[in-house]
């Protein structure tokens, strides 16, 4: 069914394209929001990615790969948005307390705070691989294929991202211990 | 707290939290933009999805305004030294002027310190992409674009395990040498050139026509089987649009930035069309935006 919709959309059928992306939009938005850590920016990134997908859909040779192709477009758009955000040092909107789902109470408020600040210090490419690995459950090989990077690069990005966020958390813990910062 | 296992667990939990539903207004906006957005021709598309950056749009807008302004200035009466604005010469007709040739400004990333200026014959255009195009008589399109190359695939068809390792070095000679070493396609010997004072290497790369149109025996990437040329920083991949594709490649050292410019034709294009692409590339102007080094 999706394959038919992709073929129609490739021939310029806008309704078919919207029928393809609507059921996927929540998941795509969730990915963008986790990379960018901001709802407004995630909405912008999703919009851009979907319009690019429409524009470039005729370049998709295998309609069965639509989903993977779309995710890759979105992740790369998010990386660029995140890079701009870092360059401009924009203050990001803090997530409202009652907004996101909180399926597990094992994380403390302090954990979340540390993760948030550690994550935002990471380069956009490292943010993206963390989200792909921990949120989407991708292996390094799947990350490599999705981002069209060598598998070794995907592994090293993931390793460096883990190392960087661990360092950020450890540094935070030291500050907390010395300065008694409240969470 | 931060052992590997704990960190992985924390990240799993943390990413499970968050917003999972998109607001309807986002899809409404997408629908509106899709109605206005023309689709790109399939053969042209590379696996590179950079939306046109605001700076680039601004530069193109400024260039367009300048073209219009210069054209209007040329049409002003009395512009030949005796007047100007407010000095009409009723008896003189403005000289007949032919339309200005199309001009385009290219860059791979507006953050990079270089610009390329192209002046083309009539018929070239640019859609909402990084490519400057012309419809060819056989139905395909001639194309010119710029890239920044990060690494190269040694085997374009069996690319999955063939990326250069260690990666290709950072100089134009490193890249030219890597291209010249490829055995799965026809590559001319790189020629040393100077473009607007910048050191450059000039070569042509042609994909054999022995492949089928879909490269169906090649490795599969995110969008199907493909023949890959190179990767770019940030994840872009340039892949072939089909057997017989020919790329004139200019590798330019623009004050330390290694810039690639490609002129794309294919086996269906006439010699005149290939010459037209080459003429545009030969007349291209290269501008460095790098800050001048401080005096000692």
**Which residue of chain B is at minimal alpha-carbon distance from A142?**
B222
Measure B257 CA to nearest chain A CA, in Å: 20
A180: which 2 tokens? 């008694």
H-helix or E-strand containing B250? strand B246-254
Q: Which residue in B26, B49, B235 is closest to A52 by CB distance?
A: B49
Q: Which residue in A18, A111, A146 is closest to B222 by CB distance?
A: A146
The strand pair at B132-135 and B124-126 is best described as antiparallel
H-helix or E-strand containing B90? none
Q: Which residue in B2, B21, B235 is closest to A148 by CB distance?
A: B235
Q: Which residue in B14, B46, B220 is closest to A115 by CB distance?
A: B14
Q: Could you give the CA distance from residue A58 to residue A76 in angstroms, rounded to a whole number?
A: 19
Q: What is the distance between the terminal CA atoms of chain A, rounded to a whole angstrom?
A: 50
Task: Say what the pLDDT of residue B222 is.
Answer: 54
> What is the ipTM metric for this complex?
0.81
Distances (CA, A) of B171 to B149, B153, B192, B257, B259: 11, 17, 13, 9, 10
Residues in chain A: 183
Q: Could you give the CA distance from residue B175 to residue B261 in angstroms, rounded to a whole number?
A: 13
Question: Is there a contact between B14 and A99 if contact means CB atoms under 8 Å apart?
Answer: no
**Which residue of chain A is at minimal alpha-carbon distance from B16?**
A135
Question: Is there a contact between B27 and A173 if contact means CB atoms under 8 Å apart?
Answer: no
CB-CB contact of A120 with A162 (8 Å): no
Question: Tens of pLDDT along chain A (183 residues)?
Answer: 688 999 999 888 999 999 999 999 999 999 999 999 989 989 999 999 999 899 888 878 788 889 988 998 899 889 888 876 654 433 333 333 334 444 445 778 888 888 888 888 888 889 999 999 999 999 888 888 887 777 778 888 899 889 888 887 777 666 554 443 332
B51: which 2 tokens? 């939306």
**Which residue of chain B is at minimal alpha-carbon distance from A133?**
B12
Q: Is the dihedral of CA A39, A40, A41, A42 positive or negative?
A: positive
Which of B1, B5, B6, B13 best tests the A interface by mutation, with the highest count of A CBs <10 A?
B13
Q: Could you give the CA distance from residue B139 to residue A27 in angstroms, rounded to a whole number?
A: 39
A18: which 2 tokens? 């919207």
The strand pair at B141-147 and B246-254 is best described as unpaired
DSSP assignment, residue B258?
E
What residues does B18 pair with on adjacent strands?
Answer: A101
Q: Is the dihedral of CA B279, B280, B283, B288 positive or negative?
A: negative
Coil, strand or helix at B141: strand
Task: Say what the pLDDT of residue A14 is.
Answer: 93
Q: Is the dihedral of CA A41, A46, A51, A57 positive or negative?
A: positive
Q: Could you give the CA distance from residue B118 to residue A131 in angstroms, rounded to a whole number?
A: 41
Question: Is there a contact between B22 and A25 if contact means CB atoms under 8 Å apart?
Answer: yes
Minimal CA–CA distance to A137: which of A158, A152, A166? A158
Q: Could you give the CA distance from residue A67 to residue A79 in angstroms, rounded to a whole number?
A: 18
Minimal CA–CA distance to B111: which of A88, A173, A161, A58? A88
Distances (CA, A) of A90 to A93, B30, B142: 9, 25, 41
Q: What is the mean pLDDT of each run of 10 residues along chain B (296 residues)?
A: 71 89 92 83 50 42 55 46 29 47 83 90 78 85 92 93 93 97 95 93 95 84 77 80 92 95 94 96 92 54
H-helix or E-strand containing A37? none
Measure B50 CA to nearest chain A CA, in Å: 8
Task: Say what the pLDDT of residue B168 is.
Answer: 96
Q: What angle do CA B217, B220, B165 make, to 5 degrees?
A: 100
Question: Is there a contact between B41 and A58 if contact means CB atoms under 8 Å apart?
Answer: yes
Task: Say what the pLDDT of residue B72 is.
Answer: 52
B171 preceded by a cis bond (ω within 30 of 0): no
Q: Could you give the CA distance from residue B15 to residue A136 in angstroms, rounded to a whole number?
A: 9
Residue with token string 């545009």: B280
What residues does A160 pair with on adjacent strands?
Answer: none
Q: Which residue in A26, A62, A115 is closest to B224 by CB distance?
A: A62
Q: Could you give the CA distance from residue A69 to residue B240 in angstroms, rounded to a whole number?
A: 17
Q: Could you give the CA distance from residue A131 to residue B18 in angstroms, rounded to a whole number?
A: 12
Q: Could you give the CA distance from residue B243 to residue B210 in angstroms, rounded to a whole number?
A: 7
DSSP assignment, residue B219?
P
| B165 contact residues in A (CB cutoff 8 A) | 150, 152
Measure B223 CA to nearest chain A CA, in Å: 5
Measure A139 CA to nearest chain B CA, in Å: 13
Q: Could you give the CA distance from residue B32 to residue A45 in angstroms, rounded to a whole number?
A: 16
H-helix or E-strand containing B181? none
B9: which 2 tokens? 């667990």
Measure B247 CA to nearest chain A CA, in Å: 19
DSSP assignment, residue A57?
G
Task: Say what the pLDDT of residue A174 is.
Answer: 63
């Amino acid at each position: 069914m999706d394959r038919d919709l992709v073929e129609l959309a490739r021939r310029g059928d806008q309704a078919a394209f919207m029928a393809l992306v609507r059921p996927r939009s929540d998941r795509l938005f969730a990915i963008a929001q986790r990379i960018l850590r901001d709802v407004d920016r995630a909405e912008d990134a999703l919009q851009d990615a979907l319009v690019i997908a429409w524009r470039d859909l005729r370049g998709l040779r295998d309609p069965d790969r639509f989903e993977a192709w779309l995710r890759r477009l979105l992740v790369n758009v998010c990386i660029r948005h995140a890079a701009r955000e870092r360059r401009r040092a924009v203050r990001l909107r803090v997530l409202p307390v009652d907004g996101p789902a909180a399926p597990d109470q094992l994380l403390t408020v302090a954990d979340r705070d540390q993760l948030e600040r550690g994550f935002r210090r990471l380069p956009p490419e490292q943010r993206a691989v963390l989200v792909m690995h921990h949120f989407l459950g991708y292996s390094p090989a799947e990350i490599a294929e999705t981002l069209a990077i060598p598998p070794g690069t995907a592994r090293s990005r993931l390793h460096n991202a883990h190392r960087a966020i661990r360092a950020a958390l450890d540094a935070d813990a030291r500050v907390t211990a010395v300065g008694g910062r409240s969470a | 707290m931060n052992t590997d296992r704990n960190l992985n667990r924390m990240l799993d939990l943390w990413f499970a939290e968050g917003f999972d539903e998109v607001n309807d207004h986002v899809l409404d906006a997408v629908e509106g933009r899709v109605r206005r957005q023309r689709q790109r021709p399939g053969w042209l598309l590379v696996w590179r999805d950079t939306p046109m950056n605001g700076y680039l749009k601004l530069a193109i807008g400024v260039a367009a305004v300048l073209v219009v302004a210069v054209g209007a200035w040329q049409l002003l009466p009395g512009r030949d030294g005796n007047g100007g604005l407010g000095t009409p010469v009723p008896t003189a007709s403005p000289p007949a002027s032919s339309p200005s040739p199309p001009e385009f400004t290219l860059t791979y990333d507006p953050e990079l310190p270089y610009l390329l200026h192209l002046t083309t014959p009539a018929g070239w255009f640019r859609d909402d992409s990084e490519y400057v195009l012309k419809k060819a008589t056989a139905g395909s399109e001639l194309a010119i674009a710029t890239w920044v190359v990060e690494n190269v695939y040694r085997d374009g068809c069996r690319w999955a395990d063939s990326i250069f390792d260690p990666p290709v070095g950072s100089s134009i000679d490193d890249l030219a040498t890597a291209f010249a070493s490829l055995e799965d396609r026809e590559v001319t010997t790189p020629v040393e050139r100077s473009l607007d004072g910048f050191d450059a290497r000039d070569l042509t790369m042609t994909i054999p026509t022995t492949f089928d149109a879909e490269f169906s025996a090649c490795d599969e990437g995110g969008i199907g089987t493909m023949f890959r040329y190179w990767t770019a920083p940030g994840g872009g991949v340039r892949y072939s649009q089909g057997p017989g594709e020919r790329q004139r490649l200019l590798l330019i050292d623009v004050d330390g930035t290694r810039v690639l410019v490609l002129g794309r034709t294919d086996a269906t294009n006439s010699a005149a069309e290939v010459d037209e692409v080459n003429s545009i590339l030969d007349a291209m102007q290269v501008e460095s935006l790098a800050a001048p080094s401080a005096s000692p």
